[in-house]
Amino acid sequence: MTDEILIERDDERSSYLIKVGGAEAGYAHFVQGDGEITFDHTHVDPSFGGQGLAGRLVQFALTDATARGSRIIPVCSYVQAWVRANEVPGAGPVTLRGSDRCLTTDLPPPHRRCTRHSLPPRTRTPTHT
């Protein structure tokens, strides 16, 4: 038997919480603005690692925030990576900015491009050969 997973928004803590079997396993912290929500930190307790909880938490949080009419601003590196790899149902374009690249999610992966700079999404370049 598996433990029940519950994900909920806690406005007092400005966080989406994920609980497994009643125990808090992690959270995605946000700053709610006027018509936008900034996700600045995501954490899953290491004892709950390897279960895909962070992805489930972020998917729920982004979907819920979008349903509430908020534009997504992902500052947390995990949320940015999740947005790069997945669709956010009902969301308009989400722009991610970095030091030398940015991308917008208005195109499906892997065709995402920076609409402002016409640059491809950031890729890792090997430092060793």
- In tens, the pLDDT along 6-54 reads 999 999 999 999 999 999 999 999 999 998 899 999 999 999 999 999 9
Query: What average pLDDT does the chain have?
Result: 78
CB 42 within 8 A of CB 27: yes
Host domain of residue 36: 5-92
Q: What is the pLDDT of residue 47?
A: 95
CA 48 – CA 63 distance, rounded (Å): 23
CA-to-CA dists, residue 90 to 56, 70, 119, angstroms: 17, 11, 25
In a domain, 28, yes or no: yes
Mean pLDDT of 93-114: 46
Q: CATH code at 70?
A: 3.40.630.30
Query: Is residue 119 in a domain?
Result: no
